[in-house]
Amino acid sequence: MSNKLVGACIFGQSGGPTAVINASAYGVIRAALDAEEITKVYGAANGIKGVLEDKLYVMDEEDPEELKLLLHTPSSALGSCRYKIADPEKDDKDYKRILEIFKKYNVRYFFYNGGNDSMDTCNKISRYMESVGYECRIMGVPKTIDNDLYGTDHCPGFGSAAKYIATSCMEINKDARVYDNGMVTIVEIMGRHAGWLAASSALATEFGSGPDLIYLPEVDFDMDKFLDDVQRLYDANGKVLVAVSEGIHYADGSFVSEAKISATDGFGHAQLGGLAAMLAAIVKGRTGAKVRGIELSLLQRCGAHLASAVDIEEARMAGEEAVKQAVSGVTGKMIAFERDEVDGNYHCRIKLLPLDKVANFEKKIPLSWLNEERNGLKHEFIDYVLPLIQGEPKLPLEHSLPRYARLKKVLAK
């Protein structure tokens, strides 16, 4: 394989959006526009679906200043998808179509930004292109607020979500304690299988105003123990703030959010609100306290106004580095992060991981970072997460409201 490969590139975004996935997009697009080996830069509409449907935006047509605003525009500017690609050995229809599109536009570089499933997609496309002898360099750019990608110290998107969660929990905690009557507040935080996000609420507690109790999916949930924990603190302090991961589950693996709750527990039927509303009803039934359930919902993953400057810069860098590495000859790898200490300060270093080593594994919080009671975090976790939420970006504003990138999205013919 000669090192110099000339042709177009496609960039796509996949999976749930984050506050900084567009910062990675900017990193890729800017570096690709600047790379002389890359003749044209296409953005796929809605990830791999845009490739399959021949719906590609010509990024060369965009105003450079608008592109730069991607650094502070939340969600996926090009659109995302949750398309699960088949195994090429079982069904190669999609791959044939992708090859057809790659040939049509002379695509020699493919950059895909996403989580576990997206790295799996990358990996399969990479193997297929190799098997048919089509030269194309394929790189994965990590992204997930869930922070559960294997082999990387952390993931772009997580730091900003963690900062949003910690700040919001500090504010909620202040609000939930204003009256002199008893009050239990339950905050539901994203994270179906790993508790990194819910754990980040511990930052609020560390800095003076946060949850008293935190429950993560890393540990089997015990409803009786939970109710005892809440009751004890309620009796002692009158106020309790609880953070729960949406993914908490019983020992048999069933999600607490999906369990049927008997009428004696506060209600008798299918519930509409999420886990927070359900737990609130149960706690109210048990303690008689005033209870409020709060679901941070989409806000925690699209809160660009509270993004971490460190996270934005690392997300951008991951995108840029993917292009630089590919141009220099690398393929079949995901950009990953390694944590260094330089003069006692946090430093993030890029490393490359083979795509097949990343795909379909999930990284969880080490149990040794949880307290003895399994309802809070030790300082090891604070030390881990604190550097990732640092720095306040200078947000582009218009009338004191966010000014997001406005892309022309000119379709390739």
At 329 the three-state DSSP class reads: coil
Which residue in 121, 126, 168, 331 binds a copy of itself (CB under 8 A)? 168
163 binds a copy of itself per the rule CB under 8 A: yes
Q: How many CB atoms lie within 10 A of CB 261?
A: 19
Cβ nearer to a copy of itself, comparing 192 with 364 = 192
49 binds a copy of itself per the rule CB under 8 A: yes
DSSP string, 197-214: HHHTTHHHHHTTS--SEE
151 binds a copy of itself per the rule CB under 8 A: no
Which residue bears the tokens 């582009």? 396
User: Is 146 annotated as catalytic?
Assistant: yes
Q: Are 67 and 29 in contact (CB under 8 A)?
A: yes
CB of 363 to a copy of itself, least distance (A): 24
Which residue in 134, 150, 255, 267 binds a copy of itself (CB under 8 A)? 267
Q: What backbone phi and psi angles, to 5 degrees, belong to 164? A: -60, -45
Which residue in 12, 74, 115, 156 binds a copy of itself (CB under 8 A)? 74
Binding to a copy of itself in span 354-373, by CB under 8 A: none
Q: How many CB atoms lie within 10 A of CB 127?
A: 17
| CA-to-CA separations, 225 to 222, 229, 268, 343, in angstroms, rounded | 5, 6, 22, 44
CA distance 403 to 55: 26
Q: Of 411, 381, 413, 393, give the one whose Cα is nearest residue 72.
A: 393
DSSP string, 59-128: GGGS-HHHHHGGGG--S-TT------PPPTTT--HHHHHHHHHHHHTTEEEEEEEESHHHHHHHHHHHHH
Helix (H) or strand (E) holding 368: none
311 binds a copy of itself per the rule CB under 8 A: no
295 binds a copy of itself per the rule CB under 8 A: yes
84 binds a copy of itself per the rule CB under 8 A: no
CB of 132 to a copy of itself, least distance (A): 28
CB of 261 to a copy of itself, least distance (A): 10
Per the DSSP assignment, residues forming a β-bridge with 291 are 184
63 binds a copy of itself per the rule CB under 8 A: no
Stretch that binds a copy of itself, among 163-171, 232-240, 312-320, 348-356 (CB under 8 A): 163-171
Which residue in 298, 328, 340, 408 binds a copy of itself (CB under 8 A)? 298
Stretch that binds a copy of itself, among 236-244, 316-324, 339-347, 390-398 (CB under 8 A): 390-398
CA distance 77 to 58: 13
274 binds a copy of itself per the rule CB under 8 A: yes
251 binds a copy of itself per the rule CB under 8 A: no
409 binds a copy of itself per the rule CB under 8 A: no
Residue tagged active-site, from 120, 146, 148, 265: 146
Q: What backbone phi and psi angles, to 5 degrees, belong to 402? A: -55, 140
Cβ nearer to a copy of itself, comparing 330 with 348 = 348
Active site residues: 146
